[in-house]
Structure 1
Amino acid sequence: MFTVFKAIKLCCLILLVAGCVGRDLEITAKFDPREAALIKRGGSAKLSGQAFMRQNGGGVVTCAGEDVNLFPATRYATERFAKIYGDVSGGRINVFQGVTTKGVPPEYLEYRRVATCDADGDFEFSGIAPGTYYVQSRVVWMVPNSYFPEGGSVAKRITLRAGQRLRVLLN
């Protein structure tokens, strides 16, 4: 039965989604493929980790099935991550604080590596060149009887040395 309350919730959801499609960012640094070229070189470093968020009730939700992105920490990426997460080190934003890809140079997305979180929220990148990177993923879930998704996105700035094996937790 479609009640007035459900109609009001649906209207609020539509307004919320329409208003929160994503915010545009103005990045002053120009993307330079030469700065990002290390992502395409092979290396001996390995990065593994897990992405998760804790729900208000204490439950833990992982990034299962979501992409994990590895971006070189170029001047462009550093400014972009700082504006998204409020800190050059990365951080956490909620599901409604996302950003659009408006103005993002198409080649920026070509200079990244992508892995997928397994059912436990674990991910892995191998053969990485030494350098500084941003690792980022989404952790999103739905609550029963709610129209609103919960969770968000997590990111962390990391530095890898040749041959290093690093495990990170994104939360």
Structure 2
Amino acid sequence: MRRILVGASMLALAACVQTIETTTPFDPNEVAFINQRGAADITGQAFLRQAGGGVVTCAGEQVQLIPAGTFAKERLSQLYGSVQGGRIGTMVGASQENVDPRYLEMVRTSQCDAEGDFEFRNVANGDYYVLSGVRWTVPGSYIPEGGSMAKLVQVRSGQDQRVLLN
């Protein structure tokens, strides 16, 4: 029985991966600022509140800092519903198929600590998306709950930014 439930869960997860069609090609020159050393720090926390009121953080999850060029804005607005970002469930995702590999290389990563805090140091001026997930399972279920969140952040004049993903 357990194998059947796990198999059904995996099929459900695979069925919700969508292919994002963009009209704008990725231009690495537009977002080259991601590779420059800047004066700003982006810090933040990611968390979600459960139906019962408990709070779950992104502890141990990866956080991504993606330069928000034209391609990323188009792609992420389709996935999250807004150019500003948003939240999607754990059963939703985007295929990396047919995505320019240079786009995938121009991402900085960090990790949430035990309290759900993260940081990116020495960030250059520019527009960025900060993305992370918060996931958990409840006893008796194999299907994860929670979701993934994205938020558009603007770094100007080397000013630090604090981001809350929830």
Contact 1:70 1:136 in 2 (8 A): yes
Query: 1 or 2, which has the higher helix percentage?
Result: 1
Letter of the structure 2 residue corresponding to residue 45 of structure 1: A
What TM-score do the two structures reach when normalised by structure 1?
0.91
**Distance of 2:111 and 2:79 partners within structure 1:** 22
- What CA deviation, in whole Å up to 9, does each residue of 1:127-163 have, x standing for no partner? 1111111100111111111011011100000101133
Q: 12, 16, 36: which one pairs with 1:16? A: 12
> Residues 61-76 of structure 1 correspond to what in structure 2 (within 5 A)?
61-76=56-71
1:109 aligns with 2:81: no
Moved over 3 A (4+): 6-12
- What CA deviation, in whole Å up to 9, does each residue of 1:10-46 have, x standing for no partner? 56435423423x1111111110010110000011011
Letter of the structure 1 residue corresponding to residue 49 of structure 2: R
Residue in 2 that maps onto 1:40? 35
Letter of the structure 2 residue corresponding to residue 94 of structure 1: G
Q: Give the match's secondary structure for 1:43.
A: strand
Question: Cα RMSD between the aligned structures?
Answer: 1.6
Tell which structure's C-alpha radius of gyration is larger: 1
Query: How far did residue 103 of structure 1 move?
Result: 1.3
**Distance of 2:3 and 2:121 partners within structure 1:** 49
Contact 2:125 2:156 in 1 (8 A): yes
Distance verdict in 2 for CA 1:7–1:69, change over 3 Å = closer
**Distance of 2:10 and 2:65 partners within structure 1:** 33
1:137 aligns with 2:136: no
Q: 119, 138, 141: which one pairs with 1:124? A: 119
Contact 1:43 1:162 in 2 (8 A): no
Structure 2 stretches lacking a partner, 5+ long: none
What TM-score do the two structures reach when normalised by structure 2?
0.93
Contact 1:133 1:157 in 2 (8 A): yes
Contact 1:135 1:156 in 2 (8 A): yes
Identity of aligned residues (%): 52
- How many residues are paired up? 166
Distance verdict in 2 for CA 1:12–1:48, change over 3 Å = same
1:91 aligns with 2:91: no
**Distance of 2:37 and 2:5 partners within structure 1:** 51
- What CA deviation, in whole Å up to 9, does each residue of 1:65-87 have, x standing for no partner? 11111111100000011001000
